[in-house]
Amino acid sequence: MSAIALLLLCFCTTVVSGDDSTESVVTAAPGDVALLPCYNVGNVTPTVTSWKKDEISIISGGASSPSNTSGSPSSSPGSRLEVLPDGSLSIAAVERGDGAVYLCASTLPGNNTFHARVVLQVVSGPANVSLVIDPVQKYPTVLPNGTYTIIKGSSVYFMCSAFSYPSQELTLAFTGLTNGSRSLVNNTGQPLLEYRTENIQPSAQGIYSCIAQNNVSHQETNKSAEVLVYYASDRHPECMWTQDSSFVLFHCSWFGVYPAPMLNWTEVPSGRILASEVADRLAVKINGSLLSEGQTLRCTAEHLALHKGEDRSCTFTLKTPYPHGKPLATAVEGTSITLVCSETTSTPPAVTTWRRGLKQEVIMNNSKYTVTAEGPSFQLTIVNITKEDEGVYFCHSENPLGAKELEVYLTVKSSSAYTGAVIGLFIAVLIVGSAIVIAKTVYSSRHKICLGKIIFIILELGDVLSLVESDEEQIYQATVPRLPPVSNGCQTTLVEIHRIPSTDHEDAEMDNANSKQQDTTETTEEPEDLVIFE
Ligand SMILES: *[C@@H]1O[C@H](CO)[C@@H](O)[C@H](O)[C@H]1NC(C)=O
Ligand SMILES: *[C@@H]1O[C@H](CO)[C@@H](O)[C@H](O)[C@H]1NC(C)=O
Ligand SMILES: *[C@@H]1O[C@H](CO)[C@@H](O)[C@H](O)[C@H]1NC(C)=O
Ligand SMILES: *[C@@H]1O[C@H](CO)[C@@H](O)[C@H](O)[C@H]1NC(C)=O
């Protein structure tokens, strides 16, 4: 501090005296030759120049000084210091300790004195810049070109270091594939810089640079390394199949993987490799006649990001088709029917079609037929069925191993099959109708027919109406005692209809009340109605 204070004092004095003066900064690396200028503003040669380092005189000399001869004080043998004829101070093999503030005084012709202040900065570096990347994983991580490969999800340690004198700034920068370069971390005055990232992601793939800058010289040096983040898919490869005339193409694809995996098509269990390639998809073409039932083809994927023993594969076990469904179907003329067939066995997947007749003509979609496929289910809908639609239909399923059919026989029933039911209904109507007629007859000749006969008729009717259930008979029997007593052998002027549902007797009573005033002509035709005469 005192040195600086004195220096400032000296500087001020110089300015006040009106003498010329300059101030300059010289930087030199250790081992270099440093040249400190003194009087460099005019053309005259100073006669003598003396130099001080940190206010201490160290050397003097000049053009006319005896020092210009050998053995002079300006350049003693073994000394690194020398005053050149123009008054400059030359320092050979600069050392760190040479860094200081130097003052010079040159005596110019005319006895003027020129003062100058020179700061010598001894700087070095950045040197030995290094970038260490240490992925915590267990397989070779550095490619021959020096690129690091790191598995997604790993923890990665970066260390950036350099040597600079007197001090440095270290920066770890990242340049991704998309956005520009950015600083991840930095520090000043430290020999090294550390950075750690957990769970590295593909977005962290790019170039990492350790940048060292000398704080004094601002010289910058960097060391970069490329980092690739490898990853595999959790899913298995996908096995697919296409047919190309008599050849079958087995496709294997495995996406979402970096870099491209090694895919192999092998035959199981022989292990014979059918095809192998570093790619995210691989197809193998096999003559269909060489394939056989039960043969297994496997696509396996190899990738650096997969752990040992982790398997990613897909397989085909070849199976001939086996369409299945109901072999018989029945439809009524004028309606429509859907025949269903399932094909779940075939590997590779079969081509399934509906065919008709002994010639097995393929059925296409038209106004008569609708062919639909929903996953493994194949449906054939036939509309407006006629007798001509009766016959055999085939669900034909075919893959390169062979073909198989499901035979469905369709029986078409004419709508007259329902005449039986119609006749049944007719008879029922007839019976009820006759009951009404009888009732009317009874009513019209009520003074001639005795109650006993009426009851007899009813009992007979009860036998005919087979639809009357057992509990209804109970009601009938319960009704009988309520009949009014016979007064003069002939009785009854009113006919009542009791609708008696088989389930609820209370409802029967309500119905009874509702129908109290009805005439026999309003009798319903439903066979479950029971007619009771009082
Ligand atoms: C002495 O000074 C003269 C003139 O400046 C120069 O030519 C000569 O080379 C110098 N001699 C040495 C030994 O430096
Ligand atoms: C180093 O090799 C890898 C793999 O071959 C390549 O992807 C990468 O671009 C290479 N890097 C450099 C810097 O050449
Ligand atoms: C497929 O193989 C069969 C039997 O090996 C052979 O006759 C046929 O020519 C082959 N097809 C093709 C297109 O090579
Ligand atoms: C079914 O037949 C009827 C009568 O022949 C016809 O009007 C109708 O358009 C037919 N429907 C179809 C889908 O063919």
**Among all ligands shown, which has an atom nearest to the Cα of 244?**
3
pLDDT score of 77:
61
* Residue-wise pLDDT tens digits, 28-63: 999 999 999 998 887 888 888 999 999 999 998 876
At 317, give phi and psi (nearest 5°): -110, 115
Pocket of ligand 4 contains residue 383 by CB under 6 Å: yes
Q: What is the DSSP letter of 261?
A: -
State how far the Cα of 211 lies from the Cα of 221, in Å rounded to an integer: 6
Q: What is the DSSP letter of 231?
A: B
Which single residue is written with the structure tokens 């260490």?
A: 132
Pocket of ligand 1 contains residue 101 by CB under 6 Å: no
pLDDT score of 334:
93
pLDDT score of 289:
87
- Show contacts of 485-494: CB within 8 Å, 24+ apart: 486/451, 489/450, 490/446, 490/447, 490/448, 490/449, 490/450, 490/451, 491/450, 491/451, 492/442, 492/446, 492/451, 492/454, 492/533, 492/534, 493/446, 494/534
CB atoms within 10 A of CB 516: 10
368 Cα nearest atom in ligand 4: 14
pLDDT score of 71:
40
Question: Which residues does 117 contact at the CB level (< 8 Å), separation at least 6?
Answer: 7, 11, 21, 22, 23, 24, 101, 102, 103
145 Cα nearest atom in ligand 2: 1
Q: Do residues 257 and 231 lie in contact, with contact meaning Cβ atoms separated by under 8 Å?
A: yes
C-alpha to C-alpha distances, 43 to 17, 22, 39, 40, 109, nearest whole angstrom: 22, 15, 9, 8, 11
Pocket of ligand 3 contains residue 246 by CB under 6 Å: yes
pTM as predicted: 0.58
Compute, in angstroms, the gap from residue 242 CA to the centroid of ligand 3.
Answer: 18
Compute, in angstroms, the gap from residue 338 CA to the centroid of ligand 4.
Answer: 17
- Show contacts of 354-357: CB within 8 Å, 24+ apart: 354/378, 354/380, 354/393, 354/394, 354/395, 354/396, 355/393, 355/394, 355/395, 355/396, 355/405, 356/391, 356/392, 356/393, 356/394, 357/391, 357/392
Pocket of ligand 2 contains residue 147 by CB under 6 Å: yes
Q: Which residues of the chain have pLDDT under 50?
A: 1-19, 67-73, 454-459, 462-534
Q: Do residues 376 and 322 lie in contact, with contact meaning Cβ atoms separated by under 8 Å?
A: no
- What ranges make up the beta strands (E) of 136-254? 148-151, 156-165, 168-176, 181-188, 192-197, 206-214, 220-230, 238-244, 247-253
* Substitution site in 333, 337, 366, 384 for ligand 4 pocket (most atoms within 8 Å of beta carbon): 384
CA 303, 308, 314, 317 torsion-angle sign: positive
Compute, in angstroms, the gap from residue 22 CA to the centroid of ligand 1.
Answer: 26
Q: What domains does the chain contain, in order, with CATH numbers?
A: 2-122 (2.60.40.10), 125-230 (2.60.40.10), 238-317 (2.60.40.10), 329-413 (2.60.40.10), 447-534 (no CATH)
**Among all ligands shown, which has an atom nearest to the Cα of 84?**
1
* Substitution site in 68, 69, 82 for ligand 1 pocket (most atoms within 8 Å of beta carbon): 68
At 14, give phi and psi (nearest 5°): -60, -45
Compute, in angstroms, the gap from residue 245 CA to the centroid of ligand 3.
Answer: 11
**Among all ligands shown, which has an atom nearest to the Cα of 383?**
4
**Secondary structure string (H, E, C) spanning 508-534:** HHHHHHHCCCCCHHHCCCCCCCEEEEC
Question: Which residues does 411 contact at the CB level (< 8 Å), separation at least 6?
Answer: 328, 329, 330, 331, 390
3-state secondary structure of 318: coil
Compute, in angstroms, the gap from residue 332 CA to the centroid of ligand 4.
Answer: 15
Residue nearest to atom 9 of ligand 1 (CA): 68
Pocket of ligand 4 contains residue 477 by CB under 6 Å: no
Compute, in angstroms, the gap from residue 74 CA to the centroid of ligand 1.
Answer: 12
State how far the Cα of 79 lies from the Cα of 92, in Å rounded to an integer: 9
C-alpha to C-alpha distances, 396 to 172, 324, 371, nearest whole angstrom: 68, 10, 13
Which single residue is written with the structure tokens 């490869």?
A: 237
* Substitution site in 243, 289, 290, 291 for ligand 3 pocket (most atoms within 8 Å of beta carbon): 289
Pocket of ligand 2 contains residue 226 by CB under 6 Å: yes
Pocket of ligand 2 contains residue 145 by CB under 6 Å: yes
Residue nearest to atom 3 of ligand 3 (CA): 289
Pocket of ligand 4 contains residue 178 by CB under 6 Å: no
